[in-house]
Structure 1
Amino acid sequence: MNHPKRRVRGLTVAAVLAASALTLTACGPDIGSGGGGTASDRLQAPTTDQPEGEITIWDRSGDLFKVFDGVIADFHKKYPKITVHHEAVDINAKLQNTLITGTDVPDGVFLDDAMVSGFADHLWDLSDVLKPYVKDIAPQKIDANTVDGGIYGVPYDLNPGLLYYNATALESAGIDATKIATYDDLLAAAREYQKAKPGAKPIHLEQGAFLGQLQLEMYASQLGTSLADAKGKLRLDSPEYKQILTFLDTVQKEGLGTRSEYLGQTDIAEMEAGNEVFYPWAIWFDFAPQQLLPETKGDWRAMELPAWKDGGARSGAMGGSSFVLPKGGKNSQLAWLFYEFLMYDEAGYSAVWGPSDVYPEGLNTSIPAYLPAAEPTKPLFQKVPALGDQDLWKVATEAGSQIPAGTAIPSWWNASTDYLGTDLQRMYDGELSPDQVIEKAGADIQTNLIDRQ
């Protein structure tokens, strides 16, 4: 995952690409059936101990590119005969045409999970090479990369949802946020804070259509559901989505929510003023107190999300990325060794998430999807000063362990934000009820996206 602000921009562009990727498999070259259909679709690992050759790896420019670049020297210690050409690429703009033409296809690509299914026919099924590791990878990440029984991505990060809160502001109002166990408790705490600080709107409500829907899916993930089932069937019309939308509608109607774009000018101003003190979001929100909130830096803390019911899961997945290996790459087997080192070798994942020149305290905006690397008692990144020296690693890994298994993300997911994400905003405007959001967005997604595949 890149720096969160840049990552959001990438996801927004991905929404456009994913919509066009719906037809990619129909217009691309005949490079295999995908879907785990035949043995020839499944990548195999090299059979020699010291394979040699050259690989081209695409990553997005930015901080994470620099992190991965710094691990290449460690990889060379294990595989000195493999040369890595590491390229910073606008993947969202370039990957589709590259796969269609089959020209200069990279051996490995960093890709948002929401994009994987749309490109599956052009990617190696990694079921065989991942087999030794599957049982130790977060189930939600395996499911997110599974299409028709095949696994098409090497899971990279786990982005557990957390409840960030301004502990100093809440304590001044006599509120102990750590006692919040359910979303009903969160509503009660928000009402109590508003009484102590009139004019405050304590809970963040996302104003962007794309990120608003992504956050909605975080809440749904907690309840073990998502926008589509494993076969791509829409399941928006459900008690789970009704419960989530009713909660969000309540926050808006009672004036308990600051409706603003993620880390936009209004968002930052309201947090700095102590008016917005609860932020249910992915782990990568921690960038804000570290870089964008000088007035309240050190006041913020993180905890598990509230549960939707007593004893329920205390976290859900919000976003994520994986590594994919296109069939058109010249040295896919060698690229697999690079990703295997990066994600499943202690030297590799320690270099990714541990202290580095890029992140002196470690990469603390995500945690590994590989569970042996995400051991709560063995932190890869250090305590976060901007969170009052809190042990975010422990909080995040314990939250991540509660994320329910999920399903593959349908190829039309990003395009669906034009409907569900937009209608969610209309609900906040008072134009639609939760039931109307479900009915209208569901019908539009079915007609305009699913039925046209």
Structure 2
Amino acid sequence: MSRPSVPRRGVLRGALGAGALAATAGPLAACAPGPTGSRPQKLTGTPGASAKGEITIWNRSGDLFKVFDAAIDSFRRAYPGVKVNHQAVDIDAKLANTLITGADLPDGSFWDDAKIGSQAEHLYDLTDLIAPYRKQTSPYKLSVNTVDGRIYGVPWDLDPGLLWYREDLLEDAGVDPAGLTTYDNLLEAARALKEKNPEAAPIHMDKDPYLGQLWLEMLANQQGTSLADANGKVRLDSKEYRAILSWIRSAVHDGLVTHTEYLKQADIAALEDGRQALVPWAVWWSFAPQQLLKKTKGKWRATQLPAWTPGGARSGAMGGSSFIIPAKAKNPELAWLLYEFLCFKQPGYSTVYGPSSVYPDGLNTSVPSYTPARRADRPLFKPQAAFGGQDLWKVTVDAAATIPAAAPIPAWWSKSVDYLGNNLQRLLSGSMSPDDVIDDSTRKIQRNLVDRA
């Protein structure tokens, strides 16, 4: 998911999908087709400190490239015999075709979680190498990188959903953020805000079909489900999705929704003038108060998402990326050595997430998927003035710990936006009911995407 410049995931379509991290792409959850043809190669060996050789590594251009460049310098010091050619590449345009043709392949690449499952036959099976870290890695990140019980991506970032709120407006309306423990509580808070300010429509819901569907999948992941199961069966017709869609309809019916595109002019205006005060969204929304919101900078805070049922999960994933090693890479063992260093070793992950020339207070638009890197007593990024000095690290890592596992993301996910994403917009505009959304989307996804796959 590349960071700021309307954010790292600015108009982020991604972390999960057709073009994620940087500003194009993504989805959550379901099953991708498993490997076909010859059995994918396993990568089992880990070179030692005296390893020698040369590797080419692809990353997206922009701020994340600079962050990884600094971390790779740290790797070079730890492994002086390994030469790393770090290249900024349009991964969304190049990587899939390169994997298929096998020509001019990198030894490793950054990639959206949503794309890994559908390309497993062209990737190294990393299951044995990740085994020592498996118990301490986010179950969600392992699940979206797994096809037929084998792991094909090195889990990197975790993008927990959080509830962002205007502290001053909630206080003025007599709303205690600590009491926002269920989605019914969230509606009650929105009504209190609207009673205080009749012009308010406190809850953000996105007008972009792709981001709207990505957001919907975050809410579904909270409940342990997703658009498709591990066998690729569409499971939109369920009590979990019906609960979400019915909640959305209630919020719309009561005039509690600001229906705007993510951090576009109308959205920013509503955030700044107090009409919009509650934003259930991924951790990467943290970019907004830091870079875009001028009048209300310092007034925003974060807490965990409400739960759908008492005691239920207080977060779901909204985005994510990992690292892959092509099955035809020239030096796959050295690529693994680099990714092991960045994701599972010190000073690798602290160099990525800690203070840098790009992010002086640390990279705070996601957290590591590796649990030992998310220690509450060893924050990798610092409190921000944009959040009134709140310890955003603790809020985010606490939320990350509650994210349920998911299913691999199906190759057809981004195309399903033509049906589910668009129908969600119709629900938000009042022209469809929850049952209409479920029935129409299920039928069209099954007929036009699943059956044809």
User: Normalized against structure 1, the TM-score is what?
Assistant: 0.94
* Distance change (3 Å), C-alpha of 1:332 and 1:32: farther
Q: Is residue 184 of structure 1 aligned with residue 184 of structure 2?
A: yes
Q: Whole-Å Cα distance in 1 between the matches of residues 208 and 172 of structure 2?
A: 31
Q: Whole-Å Cα distance in 2 between the matches of residues 340 and 210 of structure 1?
A: 32
* Distance change (3 Å), C-alpha of 1:419 and 1:452: same
* Distance change (3 Å), C-alpha of 1:178 and 1:46: closer
Paired amino acid for 2:345:
D
Q: Whole-Å Cα distance in 2 between the matches of residues 171 and 424 of structure 1?
A: 32
Instruction: Give the corresponding residue for 1:44.
Output: 44
User: Deviations along 1:405-453, whole A, 9 cap, x unmatched?
Assistant: 2111111111111111011001112221001100100111111111111
Instruction: Give the corresponding residue for 1:251.
Output: 251
Q: Whole-Å Cα distance in 2 between the matches of residues 269 and 451 of structure 1?
A: 44
SS in 2 for 1:131: helix
Q: Is residue 149 of structure 1 aligned with residue 154 of structure 2?
A: no
* Distance change (3 Å), C-alpha of 1:45 and 1:176: same
8 A contact 1:18–1:412 mirrored in 2:
no
Q: Is residue 33 of structure 1 aligned with residue 34 of structure 2?
A: no
8 A contact 2:12–2:211 mirrored in 1:
no
Paired amino acid for 1:33:
R
Instruction: Give the corresponding residue for 2:108.
Output: 108
* Distance change (3 Å), C-alpha of 1:377 and 1:353: same
8 A contact 1:18–1:118 mirrored in 2:
no
How far the C-alpha of 1:136 sits from its partner, in A, is: 0.4
Paired amino acid for 1:369:
S
How far the C-alpha of 1:280 sits from its partner, in A, is: 0.2
User: Deviations along 1:211-259, whole A, 9 cap, x unmatched?
Assistant: 1001001100110111111111111110000000101111111110000
Q: Is residue 14 of structure 1 aligned with residue 19 of structure 2?
A: yes
Q: Whole-Å Cα distance in 2 between the matches of residues 76 and 314 of structure 1?
A: 39
Instruction: Give the corresponding residue for 1:37.
Output: none
8 A contact 2:13–2:25 mirrored in 1:
no
Instruction: Give the corresponding residue for 1:296.
Output: 296
More deviation, 172-181/227-236: 172-181
SS in 2 for 1:235: coil
Q: Whole-Å Cα distance in 1 between the matches of residues 327 and 444 of structure 2?
A: 34
Instruction: Give the corresponding residue for 1:369.
Output: 369
Identity across matched positions, percent: 54
Q: Is residue 312 of structure 1 aligned with residue 312 of structure 2?
A: yes
Q: Whole-Å Cα distance in 2 between the matches of residues 47 and 388 of structure 1?
A: 46
Instruction: Give the corresponding residue for 1:389.
Output: 389
8 A contact 2:109–2:324 mirrored in 1:
yes
Instruction: Give the corresponding residue for 2:125.
Output: 125
Instruction: Give the corresponding residue for 2:162.
Output: 162
8 A contact 1:316–1:403 mirrored in 2:
yes
* Distance change (3 Å), C-alpha of 1:48 and 1:191: closer
Q: Whole-Å Cα distance in 2 between the matches of residues 272 and 140 of structure 1?
A: 34
User: Deviations along 1:313-353, whole A, 9 cap, x unmatched?
Assistant: 11111110100111121111100000000011120001001
Paired amino acid for 2:223:
L
Instruction: Give the corresponding residue for 2:76.
Output: 76
Map 1:148-297 → 2, pairs under 5 A: 148-297=148-297
Q: Whole-Å Cα distance in 1 between the matches of residues 378 and 51 of structure 2?
A: 32
Could you list the structure 1 runs, at least 4 aligned residues long, displaced by more than 6 angstroms after superposition.
15-19
Q: Whole-Å Cα distance in 2 between the matches of residues 65 and 108 of structure 1?
A: 14
* Distance change (3 Å), C-alpha of 1:313 and 1:150: same
How far the C-alpha of 1:14 sits from its partner, in A, is: 2.5
How far the C-alpha of 1:13 sits from its partner, in A, is: 5.4
Q: Whole-Å Cα distance in 2 between the matches of residues 308 and 147 of structure 1?
A: 29
SS in 2 for 1:132: helix
More deviation, 416-425/3-12: 3-12
How far the C-alpha of 1:173 sits from its partner, in A, is: 2.2
* Distance change (3 Å), C-alpha of 1:95 and 1:47: closer
* Distance change (3 Å), C-alpha of 1:208 and 1:108: same
Q: Whole-Å Cα distance in 1 between the matches of residues 33 and 235 of structure 2?
A: 24
8 A contact 1:354–1:361 mirrored in 2:
yes
SS in 2 for 1:330: coil
Q: Whole-Å Cα distance in 2 between the matches of residues 388 and 32 of structure 1?
A: 55
Paired amino acid for 1:173:
A
Paired amino acid for 2:324:
V
How far the C-alpha of 1:378 sits from its partner, in A, is: 1.4
User: Deviations along 1:8-30, whole A, 9 cap, x unmatched?
Assistant: 456375389999xxxx999x9x9
SS in 2 for 1:323: strand
SS in 2 for 1:419: helix
How far the C-alpha of 1:177 sits from its partner, in A, is: 2.0
Paired amino acid for 1:55:
I
How far the C-alpha of 1:150 sits from its partner, in A, is: 1.0
Paired amino acid for 1:163:
L
User: Deviations along 1:176-196, whole A, 9 cap, x unmatched?
Assistant: 222211100000010011010
User: Normalized against structure 2, the TM-score is what?
Assistant: 0.94
Q: Whole-Å Cα distance in 2 between the matches of residues 62 and 274 of structure 1?
A: 32
More deviation, 98-107/47-56: 47-56
How far the C-alpha of 1:46 sits from its partner, in A, is: 3.6
Q: Which runs of 5+ in 1 are unaligned?
A: 35-40
Q: Whole-Å Cα distance in 2 between the matches of residues 64 and 17 of structure 1?
A: 16
Paired amino acid for 1:192:
A
